[in-house]
Amino acid sequence: MAFSEQSRPWRARGHSNPRGGLLLCHGFTGSPQSLRPWAEDHAARGWEVELPLLPGHARSERELAAARWQEWYGCVRDAALELSDQLGPIAVGGLSMGGALALALAEDPVLEDRIAVLVAVNPGITVPRAAHLAGLLAPFVPTLAGIGSDIARPGVREEAYDALPVRAVVELRRLLGTTRRDLGAVRAPLLLATSSVDHTVPPSDSDLVAARVSGEVERLALRRSHHLAPLDHDAALLFETSARFLEDHVPVPSPVGGAR
């Protein structure tokens, strides 16, 4: 599909008195468009927001097939370091694979003191059994049907690839396996938002995350939305709850920006 300006990286910086920093991570095969309403909502509340575009996304399926999971992680890690250098401890939010990336950042010992709070929306932490065969299938079946636009709200679409490169599924499996293994290292408070009906990531993935992380967990049920909740019926509920959770847990930056 054609990608619009909404799928480009987005940032809101330069508040005269910022409330804090928020890094948002989009999902697999998607783009910043899926999180743009969340980013704009929190920017209007005074947060300095970074919403990067992950390598290989919103360009072509061929570029996604050539990307490695370390590149996705490196992209958000660099953004987290830059934001926390300027503002002190930050918030990190993510949707789907972006939720796994947020959790992976909180597992990083270098970032442990730089991440004050996490918000994960329908985080993916497992892959279907068939995905374990992706490495064997890739030479013969290079793409599968896309997984975008799991939205209950009529007339709303996600800007995502129509086809799913099998080689990218191999990288996704590696990322999720690494993140799942180290969930016990996540100590930051976590708001875990889960849709009751999700055709992309099973709600049991959220249960697994809640059971394995070491920090405080608050659960938010999204009963009227499917996978892409920031674009769906429960968006306002998600944004209000996220804003309150961030206010409760992210320290206000010092007048000099909290620089390290």
Residue count (the chain) = 260
- Among the listed ranges 27-31, 50-54, 143-147, 221-225, which one has the minimum average pLDDT value? 143-147
Mean pLDDT of 48-62: 95
pLDDT for 193-240, tens place per residue? 999 999 999 999 999 999 999 999 999 999 999 999 999 999 999 999
Nearest CA to 157 out of 26, 6, 37, 34 is that of 34
- Non-local (6+) Cβ contacts of 93 within 8 A are 22, 23, 24, 25, 35, 38, 102, 118, 119, 120, 121, 242
The pLDDT of residue 250? 97
* Integer Cα distance of 46 and 201 in angstroms: 32
Given 41, 150, 198, 234, which residue is catalytic? 198
List the domain boundaries for the chain.
6-249
Q: What is the mean pLDDT of the chain?
A: 91
Nearest CA to 73 out of 40, 112, 28 is that of 28
Given 7, 31, 34, 96, which residue is catalytic? 96
Q: State the virtual CA torsion across 259, 46, 80, 102 in degrees, nearest 10.
A: 140
Q: What does the H/E/C string look like for 85-123?
A: HHHCCEEEEEECHHHHHHHHHHHCCCCCCCEEEEEEECC
* Integer Cα distance of 131 and 144 in angstroms: 11
The helix (H) or strand (E) run that includes residue 195 is strand 190-195
Known active-site residue 96: yes
Percent of the chain with pLDDT over 90: 81
Mean pLDDT of 37-41: 98
Which fold does the domain 6-249 belong to in CATH? Rossmann fold (3.40.50)
CB 118 within 8 A of CB 186: yes
The pLDDT of residue 200? 93
Identify the band that residue 4 occupies on the pLDDT scale cut at 50, 70 and 90: very high
Beta bridge partners of 192: 120, 219
How many other CB atoms are found less than 10 A from the CB of residue 215?
Answer: 13
- Among the listed ranges 45-54, 141-150, 166-175, 233-242, which one has the minimum average pLDDT value? 141-150
The answer, yes or no, to whether residue 140 has pLDDT greater than 80, is no
pLDDT for 243-253, tens place per residue? 999 999 999 99
The answer, yes or no, to whether residue 57 has pLDDT greater than 90, is yes
Q: Which two tokens stand for residue 91?
A: 């918030």
Identify the band that residue 16 occupies on the pLDDT scale cut at 50, 70 and 90: confident
Q: Which two tokens stand for residue 83?
A: 């934001």
Given 26, 57, 226, 227, which residue is catalytic? 227
| DSSP 8-state class, residue 52 | P
pLDDT for 125-138, tens place per residue? 998 665 555 555 55
The pTM is what?
A: 0.92
The pLDDT of residue 260? 40
Known active-site residue 227: yes
Q: From its phi and psi, is residue 88 left (phi > 0), alpha (psi between -120 and 50) or beta? A: left
Mean pLDDT of 66-83: 97
The pLDDT of residue 141? 54
